[in-house]
Structure 1
C-alpha cells in the first residue's frame, strides 16, 4: 500500500520558501531555476519526495511548472487549473501564466537575455531542454543539483514499497514472452538495447505491480531490455519477485551499452541521455504501443472490473438520490461514501485518482480536488459532478456522472443534453483505420460548438490495465495523431463548465474493437465498445434535442446497464436502477 504523506502548504508558505530558494540559486550562481511537477520517470503522479512544485508554490494540480527568477516567479498551468491556481498560491509572489498561450521558453526569453538557467537533469527530458535552448539564445541552460531539495528540510525519502507479481490470468502474456517479442522488434530496428524509464512500461513488461506513487500501482524502476530478451532492473532495494540492481550501478550499465540504443527523448530524463553520449540513440519507446493494445485477457478483465465498479456506482447513486434533498451532504462526505461503496466489493486495490466531487460552482473547476477549506454543502437543486475510478487487479476504471439534486434549471439541462449528444456521437462512431484523436475530437464538440460552447480539455485519454488511469500514447484530443488500434482503451468525456455556476461532464470508458465492414459498405471500419455501465441522469436531458438514433443509443445503453448491473446490487438499488434505466420519454 502506498504510504501517504501530508505536506504542509498554503498561500502563506509560498513567500518564505521562495526566498530560501532564491538564496540557494544565488549560492549556485543561477539567474533562474526550473521547478516542474515531475520525477525522474516523468509520471503524472509523483511520490511525496517529488512534490517540489506543491511544496514551493502550494499548487497541487497534476500538471504545472514554476520558473523562478530573482524578481519574478511564474506558475504555468493549463485551462483545467485557471481557478485552482489562484486559490492555492500567493499571487503577491507567484504569477499564474496560461501555459496554453505562453510557452516557458518565450516567457523566459522576455525576461532574461543572458545568464544561467539551472535545471535538475533527472526532471527534464532531452526534447524539453532542446526546445528551451532554441528559445533562449544567449542563455546557458545548466544541469545542477536540485535547488529545491537543498532548502526542503523535511523532504521525504525516495519510495521503495514492496513489489508484487501481476497474475498471468490478468496479464494475458508471460513476461518472458513479452520480452522476447519486444527484443525481436529491437533487432529489426538494429538496436542492441532499449532503456525504459516509464514505470508503467517496466511494470507491464515484467508483469509486476507496486505502490511507489499514489493511485497508480507501479514501482519506481529503470530497466534495460537487451536484444536477446534479457532485462536488467535498477532501483531502490525492496521485497520483489524480480532481481533489482542498486541505482548506483545504473550509470555504469548505461555506459557499458554498445551499438544503437532505443530511448524515448520525450519521456527519458536528460541524465540518462547524457550517459549514452557514446552510442547512437534511436528515439523510440518499445513498450508504449504494445501496452496500449490490450490483449483478450486484459479486455475481459476490464469488462469484469467495470461490471463490479458499475454495481458500486449504482449503490452510491441510489444513496445520493435519497440523501441529496436533506441539504446536509458535503463534498467530502460524498467522496467518502463513494470510496466506501467501492471498498465494499472487497476487491478494490485503490481508487485510480483523487475523486473529483464538485457541487454547484465547484463543479466548474475541471480538476477540482475538495479540501477541508473548499468543502461545500450540497444545496438541493445544484448540479453535482463526481469523477472517480477504481484500481482492481483485473482492470482500471474511470467514470464521471453529473447528477440533478432537485428541480432542474432548463439552461443547465440544455447544456447537459449537448454534452450528452457529443458523448453519444463518439460512442456510435465508425471510422477508417489510421485515424487518431485529432481526427475525431471535433465530433464530440460539434453539438456544443453549435450553441457557442466548448471545453478546455481533451475529449479522452488512454487508460491502462491495472496501471495508470492516464496512459499514452493514444488520446482522444485535437493534439494526438496516434492512430487508434484494436484493444486500446480510452475515455469518452466531453463537458461544459460555467464559472461560478455549474460543471457538466459525462464520461464512459471505451475500447477499440476489431475492424468490420458495415452492412452494404465496402471498407472495414473501427468502432468502440462501451465498458462503463452506470446510468446517465435522465432528469437532466431535454429529449427534444436528441435525434432518434441518439435516443435509441441511450435506451439501449440503459437496458444493458440494467441487465448487467441489476443482478449485482441490493434490492433497494435494483428498484432505483430500474427507474433510472427506463426508456427516455418526452
Structure 2
C-alpha cells in the first residue's frame, strides 16, 4: 500500500498529538520516550499503521527519529530531508537535529540527565539500542522497556494493520524452489552452531518462501515472521487473512502456517536450543523473549541475507529484461524532457506524473520502487528530495533537472538517475557533470580480485571530483533486490567501512553525484551486477568486474568531451550503442529518431 499521511506540510500533527503522548508517558511514569522511524520489522518504507514518527511529528521521510520529553522534543533526520523536515514539523515544538552527526545518542547525553526514558523493545534492534543505553548511562539516565507503546495508546484512530494477500512468486522469476533455499539456509544455521533461526526481515521472508505481498509501501513485501529449523522445515507466522489455498499448496508440507498470536509460545518452545538471530535486523524484543525462555541466543547475520544478495541466473535474466523494459519507458521520458519540456517548462509534479505514465504504459509495472525524486534547479541539490505541494517548482531555462526513479516489475526492481539540461548548460555545469560521469565510468570499468569490498572501490568514483576539490556526501552504491527492496544489504559501495566482500550476482547501484546548494544537483545512476572472476590476459589472479544492466541515454549536451580520456569515450560510445540496440526496438518511432541522435558516438 502507499503512504497516505499528508505528504505536503502538516505541522499541526505535533500540536495535536504531543499532548496525548505526554499524558500517556506520565501515566506510565516516563520522563522521555524514544521514537524511531523503524517499525516491528525494521522496515525502511512503512505501512501507515506503523509510521509512528509521522503520526507524532508530521515528518514523513524514510529515515528519522524523535525523542520526546515533557518540556522539550527533537526530531532527527539526515541531509536528504533537511528541507522536508522543516516544512512538516512545528519549529516551536520540535528542535531539528542531525541523525548522523551525534544523533540521538548525543542528544540523550545532553538532555536526559536523571530521566527515565521509555522505549518500545519491538522497534529497536539490540545493536542500535546498545548505543542509546550507553549514552543514557553517561547522562545518569535509564532506558525502560514499555509493555504498551505510549504512541499506540494515544493513537485513537490508528489504521488497521495491512492485510494484503500473499501470493506465490513463480519459479520462472525466483529461479530456485523454496525447499532448496530452506535447505541451504538450514546449512547456514547449522554451521553457525544453531538449531533454528528466527527470521523477521520481510525481504528475507519473501525471498525464502518465494512469495510476495503488499503490506509495505513501494515494496512487495508481506509482514510476517518465521522460525526456520536447521533441517529446512519452517513455521511462518502470518495473519490468516493474507493466506489463500494457493499459498498453502505453494509452501508445501514442510512449512507450517500459524497466526501471529502463536509466535510468543513458539519462541518459548525454543527453550534449551541454540537460536540464530540477527542483532542488526531483528528487534530487541525477540532477544529478550528468547533469553527469558531459556534459549541460547546465537548472534549472527540473517541467514537469508547473503544468499538473497547473490542473485541466481533466473533472477539476473529477469532483472536484465526488467531494465530493458524500464529503459524504454525512461527513454520516452528523456525524449519528452529534451523536447516538449524545454518549452513547456513543467513543474516537478508534472515531471513525476509523466514518467510514471510512461512506466505504466509498459503494462508490466506493479508499483514504483520508491517515490520519484524530481528536483528542478536548486531542489536538485537536495539529496533524496521529493516534490510536495509547498516545494513544487517549475523547471527553468538555464538550469538542470535531476530525476531519480525506479519501478517494481515481477522480474526485477529498477533504480536509475538521469540529469538533463534545460536550455543551454553553463561551462561549470558541463565540467561538474563530466567529472561525475568520469567517476561513474571508472567504477563501471573496475576490475578487482575476490575478497574486495565496496568500501575499497568507493574512491574510484570520487577521484575526478577530488582532483577539482569537490565531493558528494552520500554513498556511491547500495544493494538492490529482485522484485524486492530497492535498498538491500549487506553489500554497498561507500566511504563507510563495510566488511562484506562483493560476490558474483550481487546487484548494486553506481551513482556518484555533485550538488551545488541553492543552484542545481547532478547524479548519474545505473545498476551494475558483480561478474564472476575470470583470468585476464597476462594476469596472475582472476578478476571480477561489473556488468551494467541499466540502459538509458546520458545527456550529451552536459558532457565536455575534452575532459574524457580515449578509454572513457570508448566506454560511453559502447554504452550508448547498447542502449540503442536494447531499448530502441521498444520505443515509438518519434522517440526512436531522437534516441539515435542521443546515442550517437561523441
SS of the residue corresponding to residue 519 of structure 1 reads coil
Bigger drift between 124-133 and 344-353 goes to: 124-133
Query: In structure 2, what is the Cα distance between the partners aligned to 1:225 and 1:172?
Result: 21
Q: Which residue of 2 aligns with 1:269?
A: 283
Gap regions ≥5 residues in structure 1: none
Matching of residues 505-520 of structure 1 within 5 Å? 505-520=523-538
CA distance in 2, matches of 1:80, 1:456: 10
Q: Give the superposition deviation at 1:410.
A: 1.4
- Aligned residue number for residue 208 of structure 1: 211
**Which of 235-244 and 569-578 deviates more?**
235-244
Residue 492 of structure 2 is matched in structure 1 by 475
| Residues 32-78 of structure 1 deviation map (CA, whole Å, 9 limit, x = unaligned) | 10111111110111110111111222222111111111222121112
Question: In the alignment, which residue of structure 1 is the partner of 2:55?
Answer: 55
Equivalent position to 1:256, from 258, 269, 283 = 269
Of 297-306 and 442-451, more deviation after overlay is shown by 442-451
Structure 1 residue 324 corresponds to structure 2 residue 341: yes
The residue that corresponds to 1:335 in the other structure is 352
Moved more, 74-83 or 458-467: 74-83
Q: Which residue of 2 aligns with 1:11?
A: 11
Q: How does 1:135-154 map to 2 (within 5 A)?
A: 135-137=135-137, 138-144=140-146, 145-154=148-157
2:97–2:103 Cα contact (<8 Å) kept: no
Report the equivalent of 1:446: 463
Give the structure 2 partner of residue 218 of structure 1: 221
SS in 1 for 2:195: strand
Could you tell me how far 1:474 is from its partner in structure 2? 0.7
Distance 1:304 1:196 in 2: 30
Q: How far off its partner does 1:12 sit?
A: 3.0
- For each residue in 1:220-245, what CA deviation from the matched residue of structure 2 results, as whole angstroms up to 9, or x when unmatched? 01000011211101122223404631
TM-score, reference length from structure 2: 0.95
**Cα distance in 1 between the residues matched to 2:526 and 2:371:** 17
Name the SS for the 2:366 alignment partner: strand
Aligned to 1:281: 297
Cα deviation 1:454-495 (Å, max 9, x = unaligned):
111111100001100000111111222211000000000011
Determine if the alignment matches structure 1 residue 458 to structure 2 residue 472. Answer: no
Worse-superposed segment, 242-251 or 501-510: 242-251
**How many Å apart are 1:84 and its aligned residue?**
2.6
* Counterpart contact for 1:127–1:266, Cα < 8 Å: yes
The counterpart of 1:570, out of the listed 588, 597, 601, is: 588
Q: Is the 8 A contact 1:323 1:329 kept in 2?
A: no
**1:538 equivalent among 548, 551, 556:** 556
* 1:195 counterpart = 2:198: yes
Q: 1:160 offset after TM fit, Å?
A: 1.2
CA distance in 2, matches of 1:222, 1:60: 26
| Partner Cα distance (1:568, 1:13) in 2 | 46
Q: Is the 8 A contact 1:461 1:490 kept in 2?
A: yes
Q: Residues of 2 paired with 1:522 and 1:397: CA distance?
A: 36
Contact 2:2 / 2:218 at 8 angstroms: preserved in 1?
Answer: no
Show CA shifts across 1:199-238 (max 9, x none). 0001000000000011100100100001121110112222
State the Cα distance separating 1:189 from its structure 2 match: 2.5
Q: 8 Å contact 1:388–1:398 — kept in the other structure?
A: yes
CA–CA distance in 1 between the matches of 2:434 and 2:588?
Answer: 30
> What secondary structure does 2:339 align onto?
helix
TM-score, normalised to structure 1's length?
A: 0.97
* 1:434 alignment counterpart: 451
Q: Please give the alpha-carbon distance, in whole angstroms, between the structure 2 residues aligned to 1:131 and 1:16.
A: 31
Pick aligned residue for 1:410 from 427, 432, 439: 427
Identify the range of structure 1 (240-249 vs 347-356) with the bigger mean alpha-carbon deviation.
240-249
| C-alpha separation in 1, matches of 2:579 and 2:482 | 22
**Deviating more after overlay: 208-217 vs 55-64:** 55-64
**Count of matched residue pairs:** 583
Shift of 1:568: 1.4
Rounded to whole Å, the distance in 2 between the matches of 1:135 and 1:420 is: 42
Does residue 1:555 correspond to 2:580, yes or no? no
Give secondary structure in 2 for the equivalent of 1:433. Answer: coil
CA distance in 1 between partners of 2:595 and 2:305 (Å): 38
- 1:127 corresponds in structure 2 to 127
Structure 2 counterpart SS, 1:223:
strand
Q: Report the Cα offset of residue 3 of structure 1.
A: 5.8
Shift of 1:535: 0.5
Which segments of 5 or more consecutive residues in structure 2 lack a partner in the other structure?
249-255
Match of 1:176 among 164, 179, 201: 179
Do 1:7 and 1:55's aligned partners in 2 also have CA atoms closer than 8 Å?
no
Distance 1:78 1:4, change over 3 A: closer
Quote the Cα distance in structure 2 between the aligned partners of 1:280 and 1:484: 31
Q: Which moved more, 1:16-25 or 1:92-101?
A: 16-25
Asked if 1:26 corresponds to 2:9, the answer is no
Report the equivalent of 2:252.
Answer: none
Q: Secondary structure at the match of 1:169?
A: helix
CA distance in 2: counterparts of 1:439 and 1:194, whole angstroms: 32
Q: CA deviation at 1:7?
A: 4.0
* CA distance in 1 between partners of 2:121 and 2:6 (Å): 24
Deviation at 1:313, TM superposition (A): 0.7
Aligned to 1:74: 74
**Cα RMSD over matched residues?**
1.4
CA distance in 1, matches of 2:425, 2:4: 40
The answer on whether the counterparts of 1:79 and 1:457 sit within 8 Å (CA) in structure 2 is no
Instruction: Give me the whole-angstrom Cα distance separating, in 2, the residues matched to 1:536 and 1:282.
Output: 48
Q: Residue 290 of structure 2: SS of its match in structure 1?
A: coil
Q: Give the superposition deviation at 1:333.
A: 1.0
- Relative to structure 2, which stretch is displaced further, 337-346 or 184-193? 184-193
Query: Superposed, which structure 2 residues align to 1:515-530 within 5 Å?
Result: 515-530=533-548
> 1:305, 1:3 → 2: CA distance?
22
Cα separation, 2, equivalents of 1:67 and 1:13:
15
